[in-house]
Amino acid sequence: MTDPPARPLVTLAEIQAAAERLRGITLRTPLLAFDRPIHGHPQGHPRAWLKPESLQPIGAFKLRGAYNALASLTSDERARGVVTHSSGNHAQGVARSARLLGIRAVVVMPDDAPSVKIAGVRADGAEIDFVGSSAEARAARADELSARDGLVLIPSYDDRRIIAGQGTAGIEIVEQLAELGYGSVPFTVLVPVGGGGLISGVATAVKSLRPDARVLGVEPELAADARESLHAGHIVRWGPELVGRTAADGMRTTALGIITFPQMAAYVDDILTVSEVEIQRAMARAARVARLVLEPSGATTLAAWLFHAHEIASDGPVVALLSGGNVDPGTYTALVADGVAAGG
């Protein structure tokens, strides 16, 4: 047997086209100065900047990719409706995009998904089909519904349109750093890694526009399949019993995709891992210092900056992309309390 032909990588042009589709739909989330300014800096700039995708209309970055994917459908495909599977934020992205475009949407979700994410999907009028907690069960059910009802399947991360949409955040980071006076200063971007859709797009945009930049992924120690895959040079799968241990429910994917892995191999410099306690402490620090509510997945990059700065090894500005803030109030309160108890 011969290996299948290599797929062409997603391009900057595809990401720029997605940015045009998203104009007026998604927010150009700000870069927020984090922590104390550099001593003697005339504008009071700090080393670290936060890009809070938690401020998007659905509370997470997923609207970027979902809307780009649905807006790219043909009129026949829109008439058929769409189906997707997700533990929450992609589900909300598809539901909101379908509402804006007048498309029927069916979302397969785990029965233990956070209630705030379930409520968000329902509020936008999408139909929910609940299955067990494993990603494999969700994918199988979505495939079944697509085949049975003719619905167009919208992947959560392993899709060119999704990657291109998520990559628009990378374009914004480059533009915003230039506006702050860092147009020729090397910088580092920290990006959360689940299935790889976000970091694939962001890394492609950033490295295409600024080859001198570094892009580092961040994932929980308890769900570090992406780090292992990047270091091994091939996709390594972790079982659901392993990735299910992390509180970061948006990062419980068991493997990178066949599209996202080569994209990451081409553009991502490395992947860092953070502990559960570090995630909790980052959530507490975000609330206290930045006045931001973050879900565990969204706090991973801040945790990397707070507790692994020595691994980042950068003298230039560091941007931590915060992927989302959709978390049940009770869960949030408990995690932040644990973070404060651990040192904040």
pLDDT digits (tens, 9 = 90+) for 68-77: 999 999 999 9
Residue in this structure with the two tokens 């670290």, named with its chain if needed: 48
Same domain as 262, residue 120:
no
Which two structure tokens, joined as six digits, stand for 66? 């979902």
Residue 62 annotated among the catalytic residues of the structure = yes
Per-residue pLDDT band at 38 (split at 50, 70, 90): confident
Question: CA-to-CA distance for 259 and 251, rounded, in angstroms?
Answer: 17
Helix residue ranges per DSSP H, 102-255: 115-123, 135-149, 160-179, 197-209, 225-232, 240-243
Of all residues in the chain, the percent with pLDDT exceeding 70 is 99
Does residue 4 surpass a pLDDT of 70? no
* Domain presence at residue 258: yes
**Digit-coded pLDDT (tens) for 274-306:** 999 999 999 999 999 999 999 999 999 999 999
Q: What is the structure's pLDDT at 307?
A: 97
**Digit-coded pLDDT (tens) for 158-190:** 999 999 999 999 999 999 999 999 999 999 999
Question: CA-to-CA distance for 227 and 199, rounded, in angstroms?
Answer: 13
Does residue 201 surpass a pLDDT of 70? yes
Same domain as 250, residue 129:
no
* Domain presence at residue 246: yes
Q: What is the structure's pLDDT at 88?
A: 83
**Digit-coded pLDDT (tens) for 41-61:** 888 788 999 999 999 999 999
Which two structure tokens, joined as six digits, stand for 101? 């475009």
Q: 3-state class of 150 per DSSP?
A: coil
Domain end, chosen from 153, 179, 199, is at 153
Contact 297, 249 (CB under 8 A): yes
Same domain as 116, residue 24:
no
* Domain presence at residue 26: yes
Per-residue pLDDT band at 2 (split at 50, 70, 90): very low
* Domain presence at residue 118: yes
Domain end, chosen from 129, 153, 177, is at 153
Distance of CA 313 to the CA centre of its chain: 23
Same domain as 73, residue 34:
no
Contact 165, 146 (CB under 8 A): no
* Domain presence at residue 71: yes
Q: What is the structure's pLDDT at 1?
A: 38
List Cα–Cα distances, 297 to 54, 220, 251, in angstroms.
11, 8, 6
Same domain as 55, residue 173:
yes
Q: What is the mean pLDDT of the chain?
A: 94
| Number of domains the chain contains | 2
Contact 13, 283 (CB under 8 A): no
- The single residue of 86, 146, 229, 323 carrying the catalytic annotation is 323
Residue 323 annotated among the catalytic residues of the structure = yes
* Domain presence at residue 2: no
Same domain as 285, residue 199:
yes
Contact 324, 294 (CB under 8 A): yes
* Domain presence at residue 24: yes
- The single residue of 51, 54, 62, 117 carrying the catalytic annotation is 62
Same domain as 69, residue 55:
no
183: domain CATH number? 3.40.50.1100
What is 58-107 written as a DSSP string?
Answer: TSBTHHHHHHHHHHTS-HHHHHH-EEEE-SSHHHHHHHHHHHHHT--EEE
Same domain as 323, residue 204:
yes
* Strands lying side by side in the sheet with 127-131: 127-131, 105-110, 82-85, 152-153
Domain end, chosen from 135, 153, 171, is at 153
Question: CA-to-CA distance for 235 and 237, rounded, in angstroms?
Answer: 6
Looking at per-residue pLDDT, the higher value among 135 and 93 belongs to: 93
* Domain presence at residue 129: yes
Q: 3-state class of 300 per DSSP?
A: helix
Range of the domain at 182: 12-60+160-341
Per-residue pLDDT band at 313 (split at 50, 70, 90): confident
Same domain as 334, residue 227:
yes
Contact 343, 281 (CB under 8 A): yes
Same domain as 265, residue 128:
no
Same domain as 293, residue 164:
yes
Contact 52, 42 (CB under 8 A): no
Same domain as 333, residue 267:
yes
